[in-house]
Amino acid sequence: MAGRSNVGKSSLINAVLNRKSIARVSQTPGKTQAVHFYLINNRFYLVDLPGYGYAKVSQSVRGTWASLVQGYFEQSSDDLRTIFLLLDARRIPSGDDLRMHEWSAQTGVDERILLTKTDKLSNSELAKSRSAIAAELQIAPEAMISCSTVTKKGIEEVRREIASRL
């Protein structure tokens, strides 16, 4: 699971695993400052990467996160099955989001875009946002999964994506 700070990675992990607090959730962006490995049913790891972009931490700490994530991708590329790139459905992808999308493509690992916080948009706003984000990423809107940890929308689809790769 990769994405900018405050995109809802930890909340999504908790929803997908149907656990309330396996991943630490905070109102403070940048709480995940390490690579967290969650062993699921002794079969696979779900990995929570540190967020990028805005975070209430020093510039030097933020700089180490890029090296940490890059190192993880380089050392784990043979074992990775899917990179879930989480994007806030209310925002056009940032430069950091676009770099992560490109980086994912360069690894040769399958990538799925998860649009988070979709409960905060009306259906028409979500449709417009999906189209704009897809155009920015140069992918089909259907290639993205709309998710909400509040309404549980898309959670089962994410679970199926994970199961299909095991």
E-assigned strands of 17-165?
36-40, 44-48, 82-88, 110-116, 144-146
Architecture of domain 2-164: 3-Layer(aba) Sandwich (3.40)
Which residue, chain included where needed, has tokens 């999964």?
145
Average pLDDT, the chain: 85
Greater confidence (109 vs 147) lies with 147
DSSP per position, 35-51: -EEEEETTTEEEEEPPP
**154 contacts 146 by C-beta, under 8 angstroms:** yes
pLDDT at 50: 81
93 DSSP 8-state letter: P
d(CA 43, CA 28): 32
The dihedral formed by the CA atoms of 72, 74, 77 and 81, expressed in degrees to the nearest 10:
40
**CB burial readout 79-106, b (16+ within 10 A) else e:** ebeebbbbbbbeeebbebbeebbebbee
Sketch the domain layout of the chain as residue ranges.
Answer: 2-164
Q: 58 pLDDT band (50/70/90 cuts)? A: low
Which of 160, 162, 154, 165 is closest to 15 using CA atoms?
Answer: 154
**pTM of the full predicted structure?**
0.86
Q: 78 pLDDT band (50/70/90 cuts)? A: confident
Alpha carbons within 13 A on the beta-carbon side of 122: 2
Q: 54 pLDDT band (50/70/90 cuts)? A: low
Q: 32 pLDDT band (50/70/90 cuts)? A: low
Residues 88-138: tens digit of each pLDDT = 999 999 998 998 898 888 878 889 999 999 999 999 999 999 999 999 999
Greater confidence (47 vs 68) lies with 47
